[in-house]
Chains A and B, each alone.
Chain A
Amino acid sequence: MSMTITEHILAHASGKKKCDPGENIWVSADILMTHDVCGPGTIGVFKREFGNDAKVWDREKVVIIPDHYIFTSDEKCLRNIDVLRDFVKEQKLPYFYDPGTESYSGVCHVTLPEKGHCRPGEVLFGTDSHTCTHGAFGEFATGIGNTDAGFVMGTGKLLIKVPSSIKFIIDGKLPKGVLAKDIILKIIGDLGVDGATYCAMEFAGSTIDSLSMDERMTICNMAIEAGGKNGIIAPDEKTLSFVKGRTNKPFQCFHSSPDAKYMAIHKYDASKLEPVAAMPFSPDNVSKIRDIGDKKLDRAYIGSCTGGKITDFIYAAEILKDNKVKIPTYIVPATVEVENALSTEKIDGRTLSQIFIDAGCVEQAPPSCAACLGGPVDTYGRCNNSEICVSTTNRNFPGRMGSKNSKTILASPYTAAASAVAGRLADPRDYL
């Protein structure tokens, strides 16, 4: 059957031989993930609709990862984590990463693969728009609302429309100073924030093949920023090596047929890419750093599901190891595993954590979503005034990192680190 990887996975999950873009099909979920912001509402819908004594459709397939509002004194946020705890206990759910305990992990989209919940060929639904991150592991992963999640929780199924696929072929060697974040920002800048609405964004080519799993996650994470339903990269040896190191469960790999049909195919020559940034107030407001001109900054932020992985901190440290920051620079590892690696990974004999301390960064925060999406006013790194922040996060609409008067500039960890050193938006190639 001639189908894209997305269509292959969805056909398989619906028990059909073939499915076509635009078709509405019932698919079986392999994983349902929810967190502290949408979990209580999802549980509320589940109980309202299936009854107080209802059981989730499959305990092994529900994963609950509190990560958004963890380190706050806000009573409702803390209550919401308690709602999750009660539900996990009542339903005897095996996969719960509870804050304040040894099982706590941090940001859901980095936790899911680390803890072995991402496998090629599967269908993963999550109550978070950045669930598209997990397409990096060759699976269909997309964000849904509480009501749909409540439906999945009770039935294990969801009616979805098969997306048309857009293919992005990126070939060639990335120049020095250019990272996955630059690739995806460039694509979003070209497409626009609604350029892939309802579509699957499939990434392929020799450049994608050469990227680490962390960097592939950065690319798929931001598919939603072009309106995409899912981002996806075909599984290869790197994928299998990562996944098999984390899970024993069987899975099936799918690939796009050579004659699969695409709504559009876009080709990029990686060797011609340059460091870019998305200026306020839209992820598609993208320009080359060297064309932007002088932009004074108030702070830098390195963290989140898209920019707080160990690879992101290694890149930042490559620049910060020989420099001091001129503006407050916030370091937020996505997960405990990343946090631990910050104190074991070394460059020239110093740990990454030590490099950040020596460079004058703000004291490192414990893992969570933190200021990526503003959150309660006591959130670490939140922009509470009119700050201009260069950030490795994924959104910069008005008020995204807190106050409506603040501004976020999205960029790679190289660019964020170089800009922290300069105190102004800076081209990382001048620091490498």
Chain B
Amino acid sequence: MAQDIIKGKVFVVGDNIDTDQIIPAQYLNLVPTIPDEYKKLGSYALCGLPDSYKTRYIAADSVTTEYPIIVGTKNFGCGSSREHAPISLGAAGCKAVIANSFARIFFRNCIATGEVYPVETAEELAKAFKTGDEAEISLSTKTVKNMTTGKSFSFNDLGGVKDVIESGGIFNYARKSGMI
């Protein structure tokens, strides 16, 4: 489904958010292609963040998030190749992660699954947003606006990634474009 605007609250995190913080290994017993377990993975998204994060990505009484946009810094998604990581974010209701850089396998898994947009930016967004700010992302103009402060920031072109995620992942895209 082609989508241009992603709106909602942002959740701000720091450097090197690794896949153990996104979805701790004890929950890797859940299989993402089983619908009930897909939802369950969502309910644990980012539960591995240290307790110093006072606001939790998933509230105690909820199984989804109120923050569809994650603002990160460098090397978001480093560590394991577990696809459970982008899937748990997507299942929780995350639509996009905007960060200064991504680890390779996480970035690739976001695209292959079509779960979340991995958006790269040179701007220091983690300083321009705080958790709970309202934001609006426009994929066509490649900007994200902090609706709380009124400031706008640009991000890098998604290139071919946009088409793949809009198609719903690598298989849908490959079929649509006649590759398989």
Contact = CB atoms under 8 A, between A and B. Distances in A.
B145 to A, nearest CB: 28
Interface residues of A, number: 49
A369 B176 CA distance: 40
Given A144-B108, A197-B103, A398 B48 contact: yes
B31 A83 contact: yes
Contacts of B82: 37-38, 145
Contacts of B34: 44
Nearest to B32: A41
A398 B180 contact: no
Given A76-B31, A143-B81, A145-B108, 5 more contacts: A38-B81, A282-B16, A373-B20, A374-B25, A399-B20
A45 interface: yes
A40 B103 CA distance: 24
Interface residues of B, number: 41
Taking each of B24, B30, B31, which has the highest tally of chain A beta carbons within 10 Å of its own beta carbon?
A: B31
Contact of A398 (B20, B26, B75, B83): B20
A404 B51 contact: yes
A76 B29 contact: yes
A224 to B, nearest CB: 8
A197 to B, nearest CB: 6
Contact of A41 (B25, B31, B80): B31
B105 A395 contact: no
A104 B167 CA distance: 41
Nearest to A229: B104
A127 B108 CA distance: 13
A-B pairs, 9 with minimum CB distance: A44-B33, A145-B83, A143-B81, A76-B29, A145-B109, A147-B112, A194-B75, A397-B18, A129-B81
B180 A155 contact: yes
A357 interface: no
A224 B28 CA distance: 20
A402 B81 CA distance: 18
Contact of B83 (A41, A68, A69, A155): A41
Contact of A404 (B48, B74, B103, B108): B48
Contacts of A262: none
Contacts of A68: 28
A224 B81 CA distance: 10
Interface in B1-58: 16, 18, 20-21, 24-26, 28-34, 37, 48-51
Interface string B70-100: 0000110011111110000000000000000
Contacts of B74: 194
8 contacts: A41-B33, A76-B29, A126-B81, A197-B75, A224-B105, A229-B104, A374-B24, A397-B20
B146 interface: no
A148 interface: yes
Contacts of A400: 20, 25
Taking each of A37, A69, A155, A377, which has the highest tally of chain B beta carbons within 10 Å of its own beta carbon?
A: A37
A65 to B, nearest CB: 15
A129 B79 contact: yes
Contacts of B24: 374, 399
B170 interface: yes
Contacts of A193: 16, 75, 78
A68 B82 CA distance: 12
A37 B41 CA distance: 14
Nearest to A129: B81
B25 A397 contact: no
Nearest to B104: A198
A376 interface: yes
B29 A74 contact: yes
A117 to B, nearest CB: 18
Given A37-B28, A377-B26, A144 B20 contact: no
Contacts of B31: 40-41, 44, 76, 80, 83
B153 interface: no
A32 to B, nearest CB: 13
Contacts of A44: 31-34
Contact of B29 (A147, A224, A376): A376
A376 B26 contact: yes
Interface in B144-180: 169-171, 174, 180
